[in-house]
Chain A
Amino acid sequence: MFSFPPVAIMVVAAVLVALIPVSIVRKAIAVGAPLLVLAQLIWGLDAGDSWTFTWLFLELEPLRADALSLVFGYVFAIAAALGGIYAWHLNDRYQQAAALGYAGTSIGVVFAGDLLTLVLFWELMALTSAYLIWAGGYPGSRSAGTRYLFVHMVGGSTLLAGILWHLGTGGSLDFTLFEGTVAGWLVLGGFAINAAIVPLHAWLTDAYPEAGVTGSVFLSAFTTKTAVYVLARGFPGWEILIFLGVIMALYGVVFAVLENDIRRLLAYHIISQVGYMVAAVGIGTEIAINGAVSHAFAHVIYKGLLFMGAGAAVYATGRRTLTALGGISDRMRLVVVLYMVGAFAISAFPLFSGFVSKSLVIYAAEKEHIYWAVALLYLASVGTFLHTGLKLPYFTWFGPRREDIHVGPVPRGMIVAMVFAAALCIGIGVYPTALYDQLPFANTYEPYYSDHVVRTLQMLGFTAVGFWLLRRKLGGEATITIDTDWIYRKAGPVARVLIQTPLEAVFTFFERLVGVLARRASVLAVAPATGWARLLLLSAYARERGPDDALAFLGRPPVGIAIAAILLTFVVVVLAAQALSG
């Protein structure tokens, strides 16, 4: 009875939210629809459920439920509901609708059983999320949103090209494992852009901080994690992903040192954390896939919480950089405490969610004797705590009290959402079985053993010592850090001259040509009885006086004559065709 695609609930909710003028109803739908989806996933769907239909000659499957898709569905529904609560103060129906549409199409991706459905939701995900960036309201929001959409359209086109190539070479429409063919690499390229795999990552740090504070909470949850899902389903065991994942884990850490915008700093840590998941997919064993999935689950919650905390500071102060913030902790105590729960979770402190998920990824690398990856992923953990657990909160909230910063009230919805997210971070950390039981493969890993706990406390404790020693070097600097988006942002004007302008000229030429032909054809259709000779005469008249005057001059002949002329033309054409055919 409930075996229908959960995306349907979210799409209907998004349409209703866009249409309903009553604010409180819209807000209730924005929170209620994801909760309804969550209830459907828990009680209405089982692994193995499917929903198919035939369109043209294609067998499409918008619902394929299995352990992998269900666990992503759970966390996406939770994230959407938390985002709805966080955005309770928002009275922008189109942003609310876009957020629901974005969450819904992400859920659509994870339950898509065929490649065509997948690519459809993939593109819709890009469109709806781009709106959240455009709606940010910052001076850079519109251009950042456009660049974001451009990059994702390139990614979507690469994905579509790969799928068509795959189908053209005898591949199935089912979304299963890909092989190392041209099609497989193209599809991987499309997925890699959404996963923010370095060097295809800059869209993320460029765009996310330009969304509004509520929009960035949604953005932090879905795009990169749907990419992790599709990589886990299509590309487990591709060794190159181990290298790329480890590079991501460290790359995000290095750039976070340099960053001044607090939400861009967190965005760099999305890249870093997704790096763990990508590396785990590359390892490809059952433990590793469990690690990727559990870390994605934990990450959606704690990263959402971190963006909520940072967003609350931005909302309350109107400031967004480390250099412009600080000394306000006594006016935002609860926000600081809740943010720190997210910071401990992402840093993998014992009793917090990251500890039980990140360690599963590292354990998978250890089991496969990939020791260099183990060492570098631990190093990335040091950097994660350094930035999200120490640098960001220290320079955003602590330090000497600053009276020049006005701290406005934080809406109750924001606090409530943060409380729920923090409770989940602690709940998963304290009782990891609740998460492990949802993983695609049976789990035997136990994260709490003395060596692991002591090792983690030693490492993170002395990271804090290192921070304290170097804290004066770690303050924000009012600079812009160049990343790989520099290439296409600088190439934009050149591409405009070399590609866009000539193409526009060609399009304009053909547009005018088609216009002229259409006008002449319309003249012929209105006055077929006059014949081709008269048309030539008319075109000469039209050149002189314009097409409307020409038609008026021509006058409309009697209907009978027109029908006779059309029939005569038809007979002539048929006779000519017969004569030609032989």
Chain B
Amino acid sequence: MIIDRPIVIAIVVGVVLSAVLEVFLVDHREFLFAGSDVLLFWVGFGLAGCIGIVVISKWVGHTFLMKHDDPYTGEHVEAEPGEHGDV
């Protein structure tokens, strides 16, 4: 995965801004669970959580759940269904 330069800059700016917000704005840090009160924890939680959800879900889906043929009719699933419901 190649990360574009603007994205890298945006991430760096985002992390710095988050740290500044956290240090100067948060007057009382709440303990939710182990590690949740570490500086920039929620930055990592959001990023890692997002990547983890996508990677694990896709793996489970491609390995077990997603079918190119309809398991109930046996027909190949079309990319363009072209269905127009009675809306």
Contacts and interface: CB of A to CB of B under 8 A. Distances in A.
Interface in B3-19: 3, 7, 10-11, 14, 18
Interface in A291-312: 311
Chain A, interface SS category: helix
Interface stretch (A73-81, A275-283, A315-323, A514-522): A315-323
Interface in B57-71: 57-58, 60-61, 64-71
A455 B42 contact: yes
Contacts of A141: 85
Given A323-B80, A489-B72, A374 B32 contact: yes
Interface residues of B, number: 57
A460 interface: yes
A20 to B, nearest CB: 21
Interface in A468-485: 468-470, 473-474, 477-483
B29 A451 contact: yes
A214 B33 contact: no
Contact of B81 (A311, A324, A456, A474): A324
A254 B69 CA distance: 21
A465 B61 CA distance: 23
Interface string B25-45: 111111011101000101111
B42 A258 contact: no
Contacts of B40: 458
Q: Which of A214, A320, A450 has the most CB of B within 10 A?
A: A450
Interface stretch (A118-126, A229-237, A376-384): A376-384
A379 B36 CA distance: 13
Q: Which A-B residue pairs are the 4 nearest by beta carbons?
A: A137-B86, A466-B50, A462-B46, A257-B57
Interface of A: 135-139, 141, 212-214, 253-255, 257-258, 311, 314-315, 318-321, 323-324, 366, 371-372, 374-375, 378-379, 382-383, 386, 449-452, 454-463, 465-470, 473-474, 477-483, 486, 489-490
Interface of B: 1, 3, 7, 10-11, 14, 18, 21-22, 25-30, 32-34, 36, 40, 42-51, 53-54, 56-58, 60-61, 64-72, 77-87
7 contacts: A320-B83, A378-B49, A382-B50, A459-B45, A465-B47, A481-B67, A490-B72
